[in-house]
Structure 1
Amino acid sequence: MEREIRHLLGLEHISPAVYKKITRHNAMCGIGCSIAMMLYGTGELFVDRTNALKILFCIMYLISMAAACFLCVKTVRRTFRHPLAMQVYGQICLGETIVFGMVTSIAMINQGDHFLIMLSTVVGSLCLFRIRPIVSLGTVTGIHLMMMHVTSHYQFWITHSHFSYIVFLVLTELVSLVGWHTSFSNFVQEGNMADVNTLLLQDNETWRNASVRDSLTGLFNRYGLNRNTVLWRGRTICVMMCDVDNFKHYNDTYGHDAGDLVLQYFAGALKEAFGDNACYRYGGDEFLVVSDTAPLLFMEKAKNVQKALKEGRNCGKTGPIGTSMGFVYGRCRSDVDLPDFIRQADRKLYQAKESGKGTVLSGAYSIKE
């Protein structure tokens, strides 16, 4: 029962996403109300006798409309995103709109139609702005008492009874209740849908990464290579094939878990030297690097990787790791050139192993091969 009452009065917790939507809605409504009041106030200066009060209110409307235009531009450009500032602006506009209705009502009290103006202004405000029902109840009651006090001095012109005020109070509160709960439900549903969409996008990204990444080393696999082939078209690149010397020794001596660690250390060293997007696990203990680094600098980085692994830096219990590398460099004219780059780099790797392992061989890419 308590939960239902709290929900009815709008006392339940509001998530940050829903709060942001409500404040944005109120701020946008405030923009329209500010402009409408400015136009009305300006028109009053020309159609009736001007006095200091009208000029004062017109200046207030002008300031409000300037703030509204500023907020509108910032909102359209998406540079005004602070929920608290939007909430303050929306509350100011709501209060200004209600005061506008009260002042206009009192000004026309001797014409006998002030109650209709007051009713339409407050009901219209509560239809547009979204405030908690408990707050609207206090606001409407306060307006109610104030208007009763003011109009008590004009009994000669007042033709409606206190029953009218009760109807007014109930009507405005019903409008506030319906408006709040309708918008609240819509905003919650929108927020839930946004959360679901975000989760789906995250899941899609996770599955997409899983399909192009090697689960052991975290590097791109061959599917990732096929996807990234287009990135190298028309660029001068270095393509390197490399593997672990005597990899079978690690598996036989320390076990397959140690062999996996060797691959992870090797992958980490390559990624640190060349960057994540340049490194691929090609298969088994073979790794591929594709980079647009200049050949001399590429050679320096490759030797640094060899040196770090040979010295056993960050290699744990496996100790020093020997590696052989071979790379070619040249211009990748089209997607079909990359497989040729890889074949020639693999040939350089084979030559490096034949020449004694633990070396780096390089050469220019040959189009005729």
Structure 2
Amino acid sequence: MSDLKSQGFATRAIHLGYDPLQEQGALSPPLYLTSTYTQESFEAFEEIRSGERQGYVYGRTRNPTQALLEERLASLEGGQAAVATASGMAAISATLFTILQSGDEIVVDQIVYGTAFILFTQGLARFGVRAVFANFTRSETVAAAIGPDTRALYFETPANPNLRLVDIAAISALARGRGLLTIVDNTFATPVLQRPLQQGADIVLHSATKYLGGHGDLLAGAVVGGKAQIEAIRQQGLRYYTGATLSPFTAFLVLRGLKTLELRVARHSESALAVARLLRRHPAVADVFYPGLPETAGYEIAERQMSAGGGLVAFELHGGLAAGRRLLNALKLARIAVSLGDPETLIQHPASMTHAGYTEQDRQKYGLSEGLLRLSVGLESLEDILDDLRTGLDLSI
């Protein structure tokens, strides 16, 4: 079905790589529940193992259900290939373990997911890899952090949890000029709103647990990029170093999520913009951070590289952490939870939840306020979300 490769995003998300008539008319792709694969001959096994022909040997490396998911993810992100993993952290780990070795350095944005921060500051150090942190909102600070042992630049945009924005094209151009790889976590924006590879990045990461899966019922990750790079990550980072293989059933669920991704992200974004506007007007709110608001720092970057603001809003209350605690406890529809991208509206306090891995000193150094809250706007009726927030904000004063 090669003609599908030039068709629209939603069409590819639903149809690419699968013809029901070749699978007994089954409209949904079959689920391959097998750990190993038999071969027709010794020679066939050797050809598959050497890469001379396509095929499957063992489920830790690849599965037909997983392969279909990878084909669609690569297409949606505009990459040559993709590899699916058991979680977002598995995607990060498999990538870093493949491209880095003892003595290397990686320059990382100051604001990243809390568990990733621990991997950079504690995990990689155990293997002789040094993470150097810089403010990626300023290209000159990134350039100054690059040394002779630097191999890659790593950042999220919008960043977790404060949604600050990094200019993908500018940082990628800087990296390319120094012969470095650019790695971008695109979990928050999804390929619906932003495609880093088209702006010069080399590798894109996802926690597919979030918007790609979209239903809060799975853990998954993905890496997208050039064919040679992805194959190296599959054969080394996935197969040998982590073994963090995505289960066939989870791949099936993410494929299901992709079918409605464009519709869901549009609804998340529409509702989040309305929420951000409400927060901006409410007297209890000190500041709001949302890529779709002109008042948000970096808005002009979002205008260039994103087609909408996404489904997440970060904000601070005048009353700080005490007011935030009152708000979280007063909300009825929005649930206190650390994930995002689900149909349910979720709210959390990063300093004590997702970013507790940052020390208090690190949070102060990098501008992660104790009073910051992150809201993942769900798919409930918008007026119900707004009413819940109004009531909670009134009680937080």
**TM-score w.r.t. length of structure 2:** 0.18
Relative to its length, the structure with more strand (as a share) is 2
Relative to its length, the structure with more helix (as a share) is 1
**TM-score w.r.t. length of structure 1:** 0.19
Q: Which of the pair has more CA radius of gyration?
A: 1
